[in-house]
């Protein structure tokens, strides 16, 4: 069985200038805070860990990521792997809740994230690209932060792209306008161009259309496979 589940743990607002390149500095827009669960055979893989403290945002609704995970039916110790797309607090702070998991992170993102990672954790560090099996690839983009990465997961004859913060909202893809929060604008623009095609299904971490108005989970894809 293969399944993708979105786990939403918060809602807030964010300055438009960070969401879109050229956005208005005096406009605030709604955003969501989510992580994703990939279930593939006997592996329960989280894409990002989220945060337990709100990361300094004023949340209109909020709970700990593990609380949403437990509502779905899994315990923190059931998670086999956590892929951290980049170093920022709202994506990594709760990594300490997943002590049994193997942590996968890009080399340049590891040092600023290390303080959140339990000493006993097994950490797999990659430079440009790595894989977790034949249908899951982690790839460095380096637009949002120096080593920020995406995850490409092939299932149900589709290619799902877990964007991290290379792109905040769906409108970025629709208008091909990259995020305004970037350390490398050229790479952020290239990411939008490379992954805006119909062959990809982008999965975003801050789009306000994700389970609007509440925290919770939603199954995005389910492929039971051959019984």
At 57-101, the pLDDT tens digits run 999 999 999 999 999 999 999 999 999 999 999 999 999 999 999
Arithmetic mean of pLDDT, 20-31: 95
| Residue 149 within a domain | yes
pTM of the model: 0.97
Residues 6 or more apart whose Cβ sits within 8 Å of residue 37: 3, 4, 5, 6, 7, 44, 45, 46, 47, 69, 72, 74
| 3-class SS string, the chain | CEEEEEEEEEEEEEEHHHHCCCCCCCCEEEEEEEEEEEEECCEEEEECCCCCCHHHCCCCEECCHHHHHHHHCCCHHHCCEEEECCCCHHHHHHHHHCCCCEEEEEHHHHHHHHHHCCCCCEEEEECCEEECCCCEEEEECCCCCCCCEEEEEEECCEEEEECCCCCCCHHHHHHCCCCCCCCCHHHHHHHHHHHCCCCEEEECCCCCCCCCCCCEEEEEEEECCCC
Of the chain, the percentage scoring pLDDT greater than 70 comes to 99
Query: Which letter, b or e, does each residue of 37-75 get, where b requires 16 or more Cβ atoms within 10 Å of its Cβ?
Result: bbbbeeebbbbbbbbbebbebeeebbbbbbebbeeeebe
Q: Is 215 a member of any domain?
A: no
CATH code of the domain covering residue 125: 3.60.15.10
pLDDT tens figures, 100-151: 999 999 999 999 999 999 999 999 999 999 999 999 999 999 999 999 999 9
User: Is residue 214, in this structure, part of any structural domain at all?
Assistant: no
Instruction: Examine the pLDDT at 227 and tell me if it is beyond 70.
Output: no
d(CA 38, CA 213): 24
pLDDT classification of 226: cutoffs 50, 70, 90: low
Q: How many structural domains does the chain have?
A: 1
Tell whether 227 is covered by a domain: no
Predicted confidence band of residue 223 (pLDDT cuts 50, 70, 90) = confident
Would 221 be classed as within a structural domain? no
Would residue 97 count as lying in a domain? yes
Tokens, residue 62: 């909020």
pLDDT at 150: 98
What residues make up the domain containing 46? 2-205
Q: What is the pLDDT of residue 197?
A: 87
Give the residue carrying structure tokens 């989220």.
50
- Check residue 83 and give its pLDDT: 98
Which one is predicted more confidently, 175 or 205? 205
**pLDDT on residue 118:** 92
- The mean pLDDT of 1-27, rounded to a whole number, is 96
Q: How many Cα neighbours within 13 Å face the side chain of 146?
A: 10
The mean predicted confidence, pLDDT, of the chain is 95
Residue 158 forms part of a structural domain:
yes
Residue 212 in domain: no
Give the pLDDT score at 224. 79
């Amino acid at each position: 069985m293969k399944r993708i589940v979105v786990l939403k743990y918060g809602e807030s607002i964010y300055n438009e200038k960070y969401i879109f390149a050229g956005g208005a500095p005096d406009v605030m827009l709604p955003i969501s805070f989510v992580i994703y669960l990939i279930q593939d055979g006997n592996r329960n893989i989280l894409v990002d860990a989220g945060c337990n403290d709100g990361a300094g945002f004023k949340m209109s609704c909020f709970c700990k990521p593990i609380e949403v995970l437990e509502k779905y039916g899994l315990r923190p110790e059931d998670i086999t792997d956590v892929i951290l797309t980049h170093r920022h607090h709202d994506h990594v702070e709760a990594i300490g809740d997943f002590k049994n998991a193997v942590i996968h992170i890009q080399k340049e993102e590891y040092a600023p994230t290390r303080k959140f990672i339990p000493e006993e954790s097994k950490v797999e560090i990659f430079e440009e690209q790595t894989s977790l099996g034949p249908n899951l690839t982690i790839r460095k983009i380096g637009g949002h932060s120096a080593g920020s990465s995406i995850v490409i997961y092939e299932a149900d004859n589709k290619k799902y792209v877990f964007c991290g913060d290379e792109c905040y909202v769906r409108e970025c893809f629709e208008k091909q306008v990259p995020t305004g929060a970037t350390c490398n604008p050229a790479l952020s623009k290239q990411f939008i161009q490379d992954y805006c095609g119909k062959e990809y299904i982008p999965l975003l971490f801050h789009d306000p259309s994700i389970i609007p108005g509440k925290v919770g989970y939603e199954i995005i894809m389910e492929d039971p496979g051959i019984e």
